Amino acid sequence: MGNINSKGINQNTYDAIVIGSGISGGWAAKELCEKGLKTLVLERGRNVKHLVDYPTMAKDPWDFPHRNDLTLKMKEDNPIVSKCYAFREDAMHFFVKDKEHPYVQQKPFDWIRGYQVGGKSLIWARQTQRWSKYDFEGPARDGFAVDWPIRYEDIAPWYSHVEKFVGISGNKDGLDTLPDGEFLPPWEMNQAEKMLQKRIMGNYKDRNVIIGRCAHLTQPKEIHLQQNRGKCEARNLCQRGCPFGGYFSSNSSTLPWAAKTGNLTVQPDSVVHSIIYDGKKNKATGVRVIDAHSKKITEYFAKIVFVNAAALNTNLILLNSVSTRFPNGLGNDNGLLGKYVAFQNYRGTLSANIDGFLDSYYYGRRPCAVMMPNFRNVHKQETDFLRGYMVFFSAYRSRGHFAGAEQMGEAFKEAQTQPGNWHVSMMMQGETIPKETNQVSLSKDQKDQWGMPLLSISVDYDDNDEKSLKDFLTQGAEMLEKSGCKNINTNDSKQAPGLDIHEVGGVRMGKDPKTSLLNKWNQLHACPNVFITDGACMTSTGTQNPSITFMALTARAANYAVEELKKGNL
Amino acid sequence: MKRRKALSTMAILIGGAMVSTETFFSSCKSDVKEAVFTKEDISLLDEIGETIIPATASSPGAKAAKIGEFMKVYVTDCYDAASQQTFFEAITRVKNLSEKKYGIGFLNLTIAERRDVLNELGKGKPATVVNKVKPVAGSGDAIQTGKEPQAKSKLKDVPNHYFSMLKELTLLGYFTSEPGATKALRYTQTPGYYKGDVPYVKGDKAWAT
């Protein structure tokens, strides 16, 4: 390796380095900068400035030449990312194109990525639910993965800490399966959804139907106005970037906030090669960075390193950080780095028709759905599969109604301009069980244009996922039928893992260094000044959307890191 | 492929010869846009669109939405070779049916005659009912974020039937156009808030998005 910048040690030295500027990296930057640490945020992609770099945010449907569809060439060039629901003409510039960043699929895995300042926080689905005590207790109770080293009580104050700043809308539902948070006013259900709520909760005593909780400012508070963020305007065009800062992203919130302290340096176009480990000091001393354009290598130094490169890329960086002390990757004394990767099962969907409510419509576009917290195996094991699933559904009126046999002309046109009957769409978000065989590793012979080994992914469904899927489709159909829905369709998308964009693990937290990589403060057991607080740290997946938990874990770890630094322990 | 060659190949195609377009389109996609569609084609497509979605008292028709131009862009960029071939065959058939039944071109027909020609084009296979009784579920993430299932179009969803294809293109292009979205439907980019229950009176227009 040439071109190492050894004379620049002073100018390239910070108190902290954060690898990645996405949803968790932004939080690490904010907390560390606020506590007075000079912080360098390294981002492999280009810079994206809030508002300035949202080229499509104010466009109307007719401004898109293909009316927001993808061209044949775009689909052919991108067979993987074009499967993603949000990869359309209006937001495709925020997604990694297949050819730019290849990876090895030992088994089919749709790896959806966003390489830019802000990462996937620009294009995330913005649904935010706290984990419950049942989720943290799950692995120990059911005997899979390893026991989480923390419990709900450990993270609850940090959920509050991030929720207040992010701005989460939700209803105080008082459920122990989905604890309430620091909520802004909730979104409303429509009439058909209220009917389903009443009937499902009437028919099933163990099931709850509540409005979704999401990172949207329904009523901005002082802390949000200080971030120059305004009310969510119910556009539901979020993946373009929001002109109002109505939803949370690193770009609109944590990064500018961190910058205001004067302690932040964000450096885009910086591909992290590896973390530098000093065998004499027994700690990491910095990171090795490849300039994305010139390919020149530079070293940066700091007392602590936060790795927030997104779950699988964090695995890649650690696996690539080899030294005499750690020949198999940083902190990888037990050989488990890259293993026990998990995701969430999105395969099941249902749709049905709903009679009535023709005198009711809705106004605006709500950025969330109705939810049912997991009701399977909550208090004890009840089914022939482990764990459970969250259910989401939305009811809506389709456009256009049947105008008889005519397929053209005035009457046909009129029929197409009016709302038709009500329908409901339902989906599952299933917990999957982390397994040693679901893993990522470095390709031995293939490298990318920066000389980094390609990530090789071997992740698959198992029998537990098939059973959970089947149960959801059966229960979903029964709930809709008992609610009076008609023409119920069940569907197994058979989509590959990855398209859920909820991949986690590989660097799991645990109590025992023999069976885990990270301790309860997200420090590598074997290299405590390196913190892993993105999805890679997750011991299990729960049924919740994961990002709010990454944020809470990051804020908790960052504050701990600052305390330990002050004590001289790092 | 040189442009002149492309032009002559397309001329054959538009003339209705059943040649394989596979090699042609895969080798020089960038040439297609200019080569395939003549001004006359655009006019014809405007009138076909207007026959399906006519101007009415309450809103402009498909022609005002420049439906021919939209079809040109969409068919060129988003359709595969087989679907493009079906599309050009549909144009040819409309021309041929007009000549055969009325002895004049489509543009010179009365509205009733135009409908007759398009109905004739639709025979053979049952016409697709636009308001599908079976709703689409859409993908998981889309449901979760409250997006109505405007399914991302897949090539396998492209109707391979002449009339259905023209009709679906007309509906797609019209209702996403400025006149279609703002006059025939109700459109607001920035609603400001969400209300789950507003009174609906029969005849009120649907939301465009």
Mean pLDDT by 10 residues, chain A (570 residues): 56 97 98 98 98 98 97 97 96 97 98 98 98 98 98 98 98 98 98 98 97 98 98 97 98 98 98 98 97 98 98 98 98 98 98 97 98 98 98 96 84 95 97 98 97 98 98 98 98 97 98 98 98 98 98 98 97
Q: What is the pLDDT of residue A404?
A: 74
Please name the residue of chain A whose CA is at the shortest distance from the CA of residue B175: A417
Residue A402 forms contact with B (CB below 8 Å) = yes
Q: Confirm whether B78 is domain-assigned.
A: yes
As beta bridge partners, residue A297 has A290
All residues of chain A having their beta carbon less than 8 Å from the beta carbon of residue B207 are 399, 419
**Residue B42 belongs to some domain of the structure:** yes
Residue B134 has pLDDT above 70, yes or no: no
Q: pLDDT at position B154, please?
A: 74
Question: What is the sign, positive or negative, of the torsion defined by CA atoms of A186, A189, A194, A200?
Answer: negative
Query: Nearest CB to A363: which of B118, B145, B191?
Result: B191
Q: How far apart are alpha carbons A452 and A47 in whole angstroms?
A: 22
| Chain A residues close to B146, C-beta within 8 Å | 212, 236, 365-369, 394
Stated as kind and residue range, the H or E segment containing A413 is helix A410-416
**Chain B residue whose CA is closest to A345:** B140
| Residue-averaged pLDDT of chain A | 97
Count of domains for chain B = 1
Q: Is A75 helix (H, G, I), strand (E, B) or coil?
A: helix
> Of the candidates A72, A85, A359, which has its C-beta nearest B142's C-beta?
A85
Residue-level pLDDT at B152: 67
Cα separation, A454 vs A100, in Å, equals: 12
Task: Tell whether B2 is covered by a domain.
Answer: no
Query: Rounded to two decimals, what is the model's pTM?
Result: 0.93
Residue B118 in domain: yes
A66 interfacial to chain B (CB closer than 8 Å): yes
Q: Provide the domain limits for residue B111.
A: 37-184
Is residue B141 one of the residues assigned to a domain? yes
Of A453, A470, A451, A452, which is closest to residue A461 (Cα–Cα)? A470
Mean pLDDT of chain B: 80
* B85 vs B66: CA distance, rounded Å: 22
pLDDT, tens digit (0-9, with 9 covering 90-100), for A380-417: 999 999 999 999 999 999 998 876 778 999 999 999 99
Chain B residues with CB inside 8 Å of A84's CB? 141
State the residue for tokens 């026990």.
Answer: A340
Q: Cβ B143–A427 below 8 Å, yes or no?
A: yes
* Per-residue pLDDT, B132: 40
Residue B158: pLDDT band (50, 70, 90) is confident
Residue of A nearest to B196 (CA): A190
Q: Do B200 and A416 touch (CB under 8 A)?
A: no
pLDDT tens, position by position, A82-93: 999 999 999 999
Mean pLDDT of B124-136: 45
Question: Which residue stretches of B37-175 are H helix?
Answer: 39-52, 67-78, 81-102, 111-121, 140-144, 162-175
Residue B131 pLDDT exceeds 70: no
In a domain, B110, yes or no: yes
Q: Does the residue B11 lie in any domain?
A: no
Long-range contacts of A256-261 (CB under 8 A, 24+ apart): A256/A50, A256/A227, A256/A228, A257/A30, A257/A34, A257/A227, A258/A26, A258/A29, A258/A30, A258/A32, A258/A33, A258/A34, A258/A39, A258/A41, A259/A33, A261/A33, A261/A34, A261/A36
- CB–CB of A400 and B53 under 8 A? no
Nearest CA in chain A to B180: A417
Contact B196 A66 (CB under 8 A): no
Say if B29 falls within a structural domain.
Answer: no
Start-to-end C-alpha separation, chain B: 41
Q: Across-strand partners of A342?
A: A504
Cα A77 to Cα A53, A83, A190: the distances in Å are: 24, 12, 40
pLDDT at B138 over 70: no
What pLDDT digit, counting tens, does each position of B12-64 carry?
333 333 333 333 333 344 444 444 799 999 999 999 999 999 999 999 999 99
A425 touches chain B (CB under 8 A): yes
Contact in structure between A191 and B196 (CB atoms under 8 Å): yes
- For residue B4, give how far its alpha carbon lies from the nearest alpha carbon of chain A (Å): 23
Question: Is A114:A96 a contact under the CB 8 Å cutoff?
Answer: yes
